[in-house]
């Protein structure tokens, strides 16, 4: 079953959105396979966002991510990478539809509350970086009520 890496950014934690965000993924039917409240240091944040190192907003992005604790998660389910991105909404909250997390809870692109892997390959890399011990191995007993 597909897995994705989801992170509630420091603004999401500070604003008390952790329960709301976890609830949206749970209610959809996805399974939580890893969960960690963690403050990361600069080299770690730079590694996570290495693909964006040439962008003009890179330093500000790293400052933002290390500014407080984040909630790192592994979520599992059919098409969870693509569907997770839909639940999150567009990168710029101004372009995120109402009903998405960024559409409902964010205004500025640099304070957009949540991260989600953009492909199965980046999910694999990000899960490896944030969860070196891998996911927690369990199966929801609701499986046959969610999948045909
Ligand atoms: P996403 O998080 O939707 O996958 P990107 O990978 O393009 O988007 O960018 C990573 C993060 O960098 C964004 O979520 C946002 O926090 C920040 N970011 C992207 N573009 C900008 C920008 N123009 N100005 C400030 N921050 C930005």
57 lines ligand 1 (CB under 6 A): yes
Q: Whose CA is nearest to atom 3 of ligand 1?
A: 91
- Choosing from 61, 101, 115, 121 the residue with most ligand 1 atoms within 8 A of its CB, the one to mutate for a pocket test is 61
Check residue 62 and give its pLDDT.
98
Residues 6 or more apart whose Cβ sits within 8 Å of residue 40: 48, 65, 66, 70
Per-residue pLDDT tens digits for 9-51: 999 999 999 999 999 999 999 999 999 999 999 999 999 999 9
Residues 6 or more apart whose Cβ sits within 8 Å of residue 138: 31, 33
The reply to whether 115 belongs to the active site is: yes
Q: 138, exposed or middle or buried, with CB in 10 Å at 0-12, 13-18, 19+?
A: exposed
Ligand 1 centre and the CA of 48: distance in Å?
Answer: 12
ipTM for this model? 0.98
Per-residue pLDDT tens digits for 58-77: 999 999 999 999 999 999 99
Per-residue pLDDT tens digits for 74-126: 999 999 999 999 999 999 999 999 999 999 999 999 999 999 999 999 999 99
- What pTM does this model have? 0.98
């Amino acid at each position: 079953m597909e897995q994705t890496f989801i992170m509630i950014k420091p603004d999401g934690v500070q604003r008390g959105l952790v329960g709301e965000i976890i609830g949206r993924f749970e209610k959809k039917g996805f399974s939580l396979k890893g969960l960690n409240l963690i403050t990361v240091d600069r080299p770690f944040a730079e590694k996570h966002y290495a693909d964006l190192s040439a962008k003009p907003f890179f330093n500000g992005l790293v400052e933002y991510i290390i500014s407080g604790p984040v909630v790192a998660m592994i979520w599992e389910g059919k098409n969870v990478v693509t569907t997770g991105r839909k639940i999150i909404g567009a990168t710029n909250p101004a372009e995120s539809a109402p009903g998405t997390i960024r559409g409902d809870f964010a205004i500025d692109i640099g304070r957009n509350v949540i991260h989600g892997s953009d492909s199965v390959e980046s999910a694999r890399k990000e899960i490896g970086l944030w969860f070196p011990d891998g996911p927690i191995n369990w199966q929801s007993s609701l499986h046959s009520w969610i999948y045909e």
